[in-house]
Structure 1
Amino acid sequence: MTGKESRNNYEKARKIDLLKKTAITSLIGIGLTFNVAYANEDASLETVYHVYVDGEHIGTIDNKEPITSYIDEQIAAKEKENDAYSYAAKQDISYVPERVFHPNTKNKEVLQTLEDELTLEVEAYQMKIGDNAVGSFKDKATAEQALRQYKAKYVDEEVLEQLEQLSSEEQDNENDSNKKDLQVGDSATLDVTLSKEVTYHENKVPEDKVLTADEGEEVLEKGALEDKVHEVQEGEVLGSIASKYNLDMAQLLELNPSIEEDTVLQIGQELHVTAYAPFVNVIVKKEEVVEEEIAYEKEVQESEDMYKGDSKVTQEGADGTKEVHYSLELVNGQVKEKEVLSEKVTKEPVKEIVVKGTKVVPSRGSGDMAWPAVGGYISSDMGSRWGSYHKGIDIAGPSNRAILAADNGTVVSAGYTNGGYGNKIVINHNNGYQTTYAHLASISVSVGQTVTKGSEIGVMGDTGRSTGIHLHFEVHKNGELVNPEDLL
């Protein structure tokens, strides 16, 4: 390479290096200018907050502190006024920050809007049973107390407390021990459960919606309205059915659009109604040992040595006793399942033996009386009549006028008597009963004669004080007047 060429190459390299340095210096300058510009722009941005109440934008502020302070002050004042509850804003208040060049805030207007709209409610716990909300309580402990009081309607609180404190294994061991120790009159509660799951959820409610434990117990006891089908019974009308379920007519018709107020109901027709049903059932499993009576049996023996109608007890009956060990399942205090686990007879029953006579003689009645006429009907009952007392019954309208002995017996009187009876027959049935037949047209028996049941003793008439042809029939037992209608 010549010297001239070397000098030319050197000049070219120097020019290229100079261009590189110039380019780098320019880039650095541009970068510094950009950073300075950006820093100046960031310094001019301000943070504002968009305020939302239940999702609705109410304005923009440059400082959250006055808003949060106002809410805290309102809560503090409310809790000072009523320290039984903890309070919170009913509304959901949220803040969304934004960086802007020229803020347009309205602090006073936002605060005023919040003052107008803010509502404080109690921070509570809602009890839910299945899908049904029972109510809200000031805390979970109060809700649990309401449920415990409801359970206590069906099982002793002390037992509940013991069961809640025992683990599953301890409870099984305790139950086994209780079963072994049961004596007559003892019972052991093995388990108390609910038919549905109970859950608790935090919520906010107005102060007047917060339930005490006692109020919660009442709500649980009353239950919730549920749809039900009512089957119409004889004599029921729409009004009576509505009243039965605490409905008015309009509500009942709304539940049953196919009927109207003047619809005639049919027996067995089904109507939709609403009725209160428990939110949850309390299921109690228990065992008990009780003493029960064993009823004695009665044996009847017949004897030809005794008259028919007579009887005597030759051996008095006596109940026995037994100890019965039961397993029970109760739902809301009512026994739904009952199983005998074991039983032991502690006293055998004694059978009652009764001897009844079968011996029949014509002069003694059986006590089973027959109708004393051939057909007919009772035209006048025994009792008060026309200002006096009618001592028997009157029988009129027979198919023929024959008068028949009501039972076997002996004639003790036969003939005409004064006092209004006219022709009269009296029969002693020799078993404590005596019958009288009055107003007869004629008499076909005599005193001392033995008559048999159903035999003819005279003819119906109207002798004595009588208003027409009929039979006046009286019955005495051991000298006391009795109503013939009770014996015929």
Structure 2
Amino acid sequence: MKETTGLWKKAAAIALLAVSLSFGTVYAEDNLKTVYHVYVGDKHIGIVDDKETAEEKVQQNLDEEQAKHEDYDVELLEDVSYVPEKIFSPSHDSKETVRELEESIEVGVSAVELTVDDETAAFLPSEQEAEEAVRSYKEQYVDAEDLKETEARDENEEPEIKDKTIVDVELSKDVEQTEKIIEASDMNDIEEAVEILQNGKNKEKIHKVEDGEVLGEIASQYDLSEDKLLELNEELGEEEPLQIDQEVTVTDTEPLTEVLIKEEGIKKEKIPHETEVVETDDLLKGEKETKQEGKDGEKEVHYYKDKRNDRTTDEGTIEEKELSQPKKEIVLKGTKEIPSKGTGDFEWPAVGGTITSKQGERWGSHHKGIDIAGVSDRTIKAADNGKVIEAEKSGAYGNKVVVDHNNGYETTYAHLKSMDVKVGDTVEKGSSLGVMGTTGRSTGVHLHFEVHKNGSLENPLDHVQQ
């Protein structure tokens, strides 16, 4: 009986304890409060009672920054996260946490980063503008329409080769795009991005001094001031002479990537004609005569040209097609020697004309020759074969030519406007000595002509007839 009563009492105690525990759990849950741990990135900022208040403060900052940067999409540089927790007795300061949150968040703008070989080139506001920057860079060296046509062509499509056709355009190094959140001050526009792709960024390099180089010359070569060059080379003195092969630190730029252009085209070119010279004694030495006119041929050339930016790196011919053959030019070259000895039979020394004054007494003095004027062609001709022994200005005679015919005779030609011969020339009968004029003592355009035999003056009219 005692044993039964003990078991009953134990069961009752356990039941009472269970009821007590159940009541305690309900009471504890009713007194727990949910708070939120606020993180910026991995950094714990504090605890807030109301997550919405914190979120509103973050959004307010975003809106304010968006108003400052209307052209960009504003975002947080680091994510803000909220981790809930239930606690009995909160002891935090929500307002302080919100203040700390406001100071901790950093706002940036959405950008597309252009990189070349993992090196940042520029940041653009959008993928469209990033692609436009790359396109604009290519268009520095390729016509926009040619580039558009090239990009529209299927990869395996053979282009129709015209006068000039851009077959392919690509970059020597790929420009990659990555989405990033950056500070607004780091954003570039399209023009800046093209400038960076084209000229790169300043990098230090070593310049070896060549014979005769001075600081100013080296600075100018790299678009540096002398002060900047000295700043880069603290060991150099402004007045200190440079040594050959001395190493000087400079800054230089080079393209981050280059535009590779393949061009083909069809053009017409001349095929130069040959010239054959045939010697003949039918012509006097020094004389030439065209027997057959030459004519250039023509060919169609399919060419190629490879360029790197604005430099041609390779060019050549793919195929040539002859359109017309060239015609050889044949030139006859005289070999016949001009005899320096006269025939003794004189020719009239002018082209027509009349005698305006004969040899003899005139105006109180003796006129040594005859004067010929009234010609339409003022060419003065050698009366016979001979050698020029005088060709110069001579007092009253003006410009005078004297020809020795090597047979005792000499002839004189005076008052010439200009002379076609010089002393030592061998002349043929009828060849030009010069042009009739009025140099020296003369009353008008005419030729004064004299004949001498063995040093004695003779009457020209005894030897020449018009």
User: Same fold, TM exceeding 0.5?
Assistant: yes
Query: Does 1:135 pair with 2:108?
Result: no
Shift of 1:346: 0.9
| Matches of 2:211 and 2:403, distance apart in 1 | 51
TM-aligned CA distance change 1:21 to 1:426, over 3 Å:
farther
The residue identity in structure 2 corresponding to 1:212 is: D
8 A Cα contact 1:428 1:434, kept in partner: no
Find 2:155's aligned residue among 155, 162, 171. 171
Using the size of structure 1 for normalisation, the TM-score is 0.62
> After the TM superposition, which of the residue ranges 24-33 and 269-278 deviates more from structure 2?
24-33
283-292 or 216-225, which moves further after superposition? 216-225
Once the two structures are superposed, the pairs formed by residues 207-356 of structure 1 within 5 Å of their partners are: 207-228=184-205, 230=207, 232=209, 235-253=212-230, 259-265=236-242, 271-304=248-281, 306-356=283-333
- Whichever residue aligns with residue 180 of structure 2, its letter is N
Shift in Å, 1:409: 4.5
Distance 2:334 2:246 in 1: 56
**Cα shift at 1:88:** 1.7
Q: In the alignment, does 2:59 pair up with 1:72?
A: yes
Match of residue 372 from structure 1:
none
1:432 aligns to 2:416 (yes or no): no
For the Cα contact (< 8 Å) 2:40–2:105, is it kept in 1?
Answer: no
Letter in 2 for 1:324: V
Do the aligned residues in 2 keep the contact of 1:60 with 1:104 (CA within 8 Å)?
A: no
SS at match of 2:46: strand
Match of 1:46 among 17, 30, 33: 33
Change (3 A) 1:339 1:413: closer
- Kindly state the Cα deviation for residue 49 of structure 1 after the two structures are TM-superposed: 3.3
Counterpart CA distance in 1 for 2:255 and 2:207 is 18
* Distance of 1:295 and 1:241 partners within structure 2: 47
Match status 1:412 vs 2:390: yes
State the match for 1:109 in structure 2.
Answer: 96
Contact 2:391/2:421 (<8 A) preserved: no
For residues 202 and 294 of structure 1, the distance between their equivalents in structure 2, rounded to whole angstroms, comes to 58
Deviates more, 1:55-64 or 1:36-45: 36-45
Structure 1 residues 352, 190: closer, same or farther in 2, change over 3 A?
same
**1:88 to 2:75 alignment:** yes
Q: Which amino acid aligns with 2:33?
A: E
Q: Could you tell me how far apart the structure 1 residues matched to 2:25 and 2:75 are?
A: 44
Task: Tell me the number of residue pairs that the alignment of Structure 1 and Structure 2 aligns.
Answer: 370
- Mapped to 2, the partners of 1:197 and 1:27 lie a distance apart of 78
Shift of 1:344: 0.4
- TM value normalised by structure 2: 0.64
Superposed CA RMSD in Å reads: 4.3
Change (3 A) 1:433 1:220: same
Matched residues in 2 for 1:62 and 1:290: separation?
Answer: 81
Contact 1:363–1:451 (CA under 8 A) maintained in structure 2: no
- Structure 1 residues 135, 451: closer, same or farther in 2, change over 3 A? closer
Residue 132 of structure 2: aligned partner: 145
Q: 2:174 and 2:17 mapped to 1: Cα distance? A: 71
Letter in 1 for 2:187: V
Aligned residue for 1:247, secondary structure, equals: coil
- C-alpha deviation, 1:144, in angstroms: 1.0
Q: Which residue in the other structure is 1:120 paired with?
A: 107
Matching of residue 63 in structure 1 with residue 50 in structure 2:
yes
Distance in 1 (CA, whole Å) between partners of 2:420 and 2:183 is 84
* Distance in 1 of aligned mates of 2:83 and 2:53: 16
8 Å CA contact retained: 2:296, 2:326: yes
Post-superposition offset of 1:94: 4.0
Q: Is the 8 A contact 1:427 1:434 kept in 2?
A: no
CA distance in 1 between counterparts of 2:129 and 2:172 reads: 21
Per-residue deviation, residues 25-59 of structure 1 (Å, max 9, x unmatched)? 66666666556556655554434334344655443
**Which letter maps to 2:119?**
N
Distance in 1 (alpha carbons) for counterparts of 2:30 and 2:402? 136
Query: Residues 310 and 264 (structure 1 numbering): CA distance in 2 closer, same or farther, change over 3 Å?
Result: farther
Seen in structure 2, the aligned counterparts of structure 1 residues 211 and 102 have a Cα distance that, compared at 3 Å, is same
Q: 1:247 to 1:429 in 2, by over 3 A?
A: farther
Alpha carbons of structure 1 residues 31 and 240: separation in structure 2 relative to 1, 3 Å: farther
Give ranges in structure 2 of 5+ residues lacking alignment: 342-385, 406-418, 427-432, 436-466
Residues 1:43 and 1:433: Cα distance change in structure 2 (over 3 Å): farther
Cα deviation per residue 1:293-343 (whole Å; 9 max; x = unaligned)?
223333344445545544444444333221111233332244323242211
1:358 to 1:193, Cα distance in 2 relative to 1, 3 A: same
Distance 1:38 1:413, change over 3 A: closer
Instruction: Give the C-alpha shift of residue 260 in structure 1.
Output: 4.3
How far residue 263 of structure 1 moved from its aligned partner, in angstroms, is 4.2
Distance 2:108 2:278 in 1: 84
Contact 1:362 1:409 in 2 (8 A): no
